[in-house]
Structure 1
Amino acid sequence: MSPHLTLRERAEVEAARLPALLARAESLAGTVLLGEHGRRRAGLGDDFWQYRPAQVGDSRRLIDHRRSAMGDVQFVREREWQIAQSVMLWVDQGASMRFASEANLPEKAERARVLALATAILLIRGGERVGLTGTTLPPRRGNEQILRLAEAFSVDDQSDYAAPEHRAMIPHARAVFISDFLGDMADVRLALTKAADRGVRGVLLQILDPSEEAFPFQGRTIFESVGGTLSHETLKAADLRDRYLERLAERKAELTQLTRATGWHLGLHHTGDSAQTALLWLYRALDGGTS
C-alpha cells in the first residue's frame, strides 16, 4: 500500500477488503461438512453437551437422576470437553506474501487469509474458541469473533518477512501458523520452541506460488522483493535455478525437522491448487490427523 495515502484512505482500503474476505471464507467453510457436534466432545467442563445411557464403569455420581426418572434407563449428563479448546492463529501479513506470479493466481496472502478465516469459522461453529497469537485478540466464540478476525487479517505488515507471533500462548492450546516461511528461520524456531514449552501443539502450513517451486526464469531478469527493499539483476537467470531449488529444499527440510521435534504438523499448499483441499487438511491436522 502506498505510504502517501492518507489515514482515511488507508482505512477505507482496509475496510473494503472485509466483505470480500468474509464471503470467500464463508463459501469455503461451507464446502466442509461437520458432524452433529463438530469438534465438541465429552469431558471436563462447564457446558452441557448431551445425555447418554449409563455404561458399565460409570460412577454413580455421574447419573442424572432427573433425566433418568423419565424412563427405565439411567442417563449420564455429559459436559463439553474444554481442555485445549482454544485455537490460536498466526497469519503472515508480510510483504513477501503479497506475491502472485500470474494474474489468474491469488496472492499468497489472500489464500492464507481465506484459509485461516474459513478454519476459524469451522472451529467456532464446532464449539471452539479461536483467537490470534499475541495479546491483541484472545480466543473467543461467536460471530463477533469471526468479524474481529477478518478485520485483523485485512491489515498488511510493511516488513518484507513477518516474524511469527509467539507471545501469550495459552498452555495446552492448539495453534495454526500460515506463511511462506521464507524469512528468518530463527524466528520460526523461537516461536515453535516457546509454544512447545507451554504444551502447545499445532500446524504449520507453508503457502508458495507455483513459480517459487519451479523457478521458470531465464535470460535477463530482475528479482525484487515485494516490499522493495531487495533487488538483484542477472543476465542468466537459469544459472541460478539449481542453487535456488537446493536452498528451497534445505528450507523445507529444516521446517520438517523443526515440526517433528516440537510435535507439530507441516503442510505445503500451492496457490494454484484447490483451497478446499488445504482447508480439509488443516482441519484434520488440528484433530491430530496427518495427510
Structure 2
Amino acid sequence: MNAALTLRERSEAEASRLPPLLARAEHLAGTVLLGDHGRRRSGMGDDFWQYRPAQLGDSRRMIDHRRSARGDQQFVREREWQIAQSVMLWVDQGASMRFASDKMLPTKADRARLLGLAAAILLVRGGERVGLTGTSLPPRRGNAQIVRLAQAWSEDAEVDYAPPEHKAMIPHARAVFLSDFLGPLGEVELALTKAADRGVRGVLLQILDPSEEAFPFRGRTIFESVGGTARHETLKAGDLRDRYLERLARRKDDLARLCRATGWQLGLHHSKDSAQSALLWLYRALDGGVQ
C-alpha cells in the first residue's frame, strides 16, 4: 500500500510539471521567427529540385536516363522537399543534468527539456514528424505528440550519466541530442557512429552550468555527484582547477572531432544564457544553416 501511495505521489508530482513546461516551451517557440523554414530540401514533392550523382543504394527507377545519357555518370532527379522528414530527439535525463550551481539558475535538465520541447513545437508547426530516439515514441505529427514528449521527459533517470539511445534510427532522418556530455564518451561515439551508418545527420548541443566552465571552488570543498554515487573531499580545491579545465577542454575537443567525423554539428550552451538564442541556433543548425 505504501509503495502504491509513493508511486502515486511521484506520478502526480511529475505530471504537475507538464503544464508549466508546455507553456514555457510554447512561449519560447513563439519568440523564434519561423520564416520560410528552409523547406528547399530534397524529397517526394512534384517540383524539380536538382540532379545529383547516383549513390550506392539508389534504385534503378530513380535514375534519370535523359540526364545520365549526356555523360558517363548516372544521375538521380531529386524533387523539392514536400513530405515532412522525421526528427528524432534525445534529452539526457541522467542525474548529472539535475545540477544547478545557483538557485536562480535552471538545472541543465530543465534547460534541455525546454529547448527540446520548443524545438519539437517549431518542427511540428513546420509539418515535420518528431519523436524520441529508440522505439518508445516513434516520430509523429500533431500537438498530441508534443504532450507525449513532455510526459516522457518528465521522468528522471537514476544513473548519473544516461547514454544516448541509438536504436531504431530512421535512415536519412535528422536527430538532436541535448546533454552535458560529461559521461563516458564511448556511448556518444557509438550513438553517432550508428546514426552516421544510417545516413542520419544531426546536432549535439552541450549544456553546461557556468560553474562547470569556471570552476570557482577554493579551499575545503566536497564534490558529490547528484546521484550520490561519487564523493570527493579536498582541502585545496583550487589546486584541481587547471587539471579539471584541461579535461573539460579535452572533452570538448573530442566531441568536436566526433561531430566532424560523422557529419554532425556541435553547439555549446550555458544555462545562464538566453534560451531563445540557443533555440534559434539549434533550429538553424537542423537546417544546416550554421557551422
Q: TM-score, normalised by structure 1?
A: 0.85
Report Cα offsets for 1:263-282 as digits up to 9, x if no partner: 00000000010001100000
Distance in 2 between residues matched to 1:24 and 1:287, nearest whole Å: 24
What residue is the counterpart of 1:260 in the other structure? 260
d(CA) in 2 for partners of 1:197, 1:243 = 35
Distance apart, 1:34 and its partner CA: 1.2
Name 1:94's counterpart in structure 2: 94
Q: Is the 8 A contact 1:220 1:235 kept in 2?
A: yes
Residue 67 of structure 1: aligned partner: none
Match of 2:82 in 1: 81
What's the counterpart of residue 111 of structure 1?
111
Q: 1:220 aligns to what?
A: 220
Counterpart code for 1:45: M
Give, in angstroms, the shift of residue 22 of structure 1. Answer: 0.3
Question: Counterpart of 1:45 in 2: which secondary structure?
Answer: strand
Q: Hey, what's the Cα distance between the residues in 1 that align with 2:6 and 2:40?
A: 49
Residue number in structure 2 paired with 1:202: 202
Report the counterpart of residue 20 of structure 1 in structure 2: 20
Provide, for residues 183-242 of structure 1, a one-character-per-residue CA deviation record: whole Å limited to 9, x for no partner.
Answer: 000000000000000000000000000000000000000000000000000000000000
Residue ranges of structure 1 left out of the alignment (5+ in a row): 55-77
Equivalence for 2:133: 133
Match in the other structure for 2:192? 192
CA deviation after TM superposition for structure 1 residue 82, in Å: 2.8
Counterpart CA distance in 2 for 1:217 and 1:247 is 16
AA at the equivalent of 1:98: R
Q: C-alpha displacement at 1:33, in angstroms?
A: 1.4
Aligned residue for 2:44, secondary structure, equals: coil
Alignment pair present for 1:271 and 2:271: yes
Shift of 1:156: 0.5
* Structure 1 residues 43 and 189, CA gap change in structure 2 (3 angstroms): closer
Q: Tell me the secondary structure at the aligned position of residue 192 of structure 1.
A: helix
The C-alpha deviation readout for 1:20-54, integer Å capped at 9, x for no partner, is: 11011001000011125x344475437x9xxx9x9
3-state SS, counterpart of residue 164 of structure 2: coil
Q: Deviations over 1:242-271 (max 9, x none)?
A: 000000000000000000000000000000
Alignment length (residue pairs): 261
1:38-53 mapped onto 2 (5 Å cutoff): 38-41=37-40, 44-45=43-44
Which AA in structure 2 matches 1:241? Answer: R
Task: Deviation per CA, 1:147-195: give whole Å up to 9, x if none.
Answer: 1111111110110000000000000000000000000000000000000
Secondary structure of 2:16's match? helix
* CA–CA separation in structure 2 for the residues paired with 1:89 and 1:277: 19
For residues 34 and 186 of structure 1, what CA distance do their matches in structure 2 show? Answer: 36
- Match in the other structure for 1:168: 168
Query: TM-score of the superposition, structure 2-length normalised?
Result: 0.85
- Residues 1:31 and 2:31 aligned together: yes
Distance 1:10 1:271 in 2: 26
**Aligned equivalents of 2:218, 2:80: Cα separation in 1:** 61
1:183 aligns with 2:179: no
SS at match of 1:101: coil
State the one-letter code of the partner of 1:178.
Answer: L
Note the C-alpha offset of 1:289.
Answer: 1.8
SS in 1 for 2:206: strand
Q: For residues 76-118 of structure 1, give each alpha carbon's deviation from its aligned partner in whole angstroms, at most 9, with x where no partner exists.
A: xx985237x1000000000000000001100000000000000
More off after superposition, 146-155 vs 208-217: 146-155
Percent identity over paired residues: 75
